[in-house]
Amino acid sequence: MAAPSEEVSEEHTAHKNQDNAQMFANRLIKNQKRLKKWLKQSGETSYRVYDADMPEYALAVDRYGDRVHVQEYAAPSSVNPAQAQKRLYDALEVMPEALNVDASKIYIKRRERQTGSAQYQKRAASGERFEVQEGEARLWVNLRDYLDTGLFLDHRPVRRMLGEMARGKRF
């Protein structure tokens, strides 16, 4: 049996982790609410909800319609790997409710430093793709087969410009 001080310490840590996970959920809700007006005006269905705003949760969370793409940034060697894994699990536990999305529609990937063609290699062969709307454009996205989705959200202005140049055409 563990000493009483150890039990209190483990209980305290579990409670602190719950508090942190709730703070993370609150941040997701706040960010989603802040974007609501822009989303309604723009007609966008793909956007970043969270980008490592809190140091405990080194994640990028993107919405693609009714799906969520989560990218975990590899923790530095100074961070305990078990603790980083626990935080990821805690974040994934609160995400469905905070973002109002089915847990089966959350895709998780880990981003690590890669060189050369390694970052472009196929990770799966599901062929699973779906359509998202970006302004007047309809775009195909694959959240499963590659590290990247194929739709870089920060390239939106370039796609919009190309769309204006190609108005009325399909490409």
Sequential DSSP letters for 109-148? EEE----GGGGGS-S------EEEEETTEEEEE-SSSSSS
What is the per-residue pLDDT for 15? 54
What is the domain class of 14-113+122-165 according to CATH?
A: alpha beta
| Higher pLDDT, residue 8 or 75 | 75
**pLDDT for residue 22 is more than 50:** yes
pLDDT for residue 64 is more than 80? yes
Asked if 123 contacts 143 with a C-beta cutoff of 8 angstroms, the reply is: no
Q: List 106's β-bridge partners, or say none.
A: 68
Q: Which pLDDT tens digit goes with each residue over 90-127?
A: 999 999 999 999 999 999 988 766 566 655 565 666 77
Residue 28: how many CB atoms within 10 A of its CB?
Answer: 21
Residue 170: its pLDDT value, please? 73
- Separation CA 105–CA 36 (nearest Å): 21
Give the 3-state secondary structure of residue 13: helix
d(CA 140, CA 14): 41
Q: Bridge-partner residues for 140, per DSSP?
A: 131
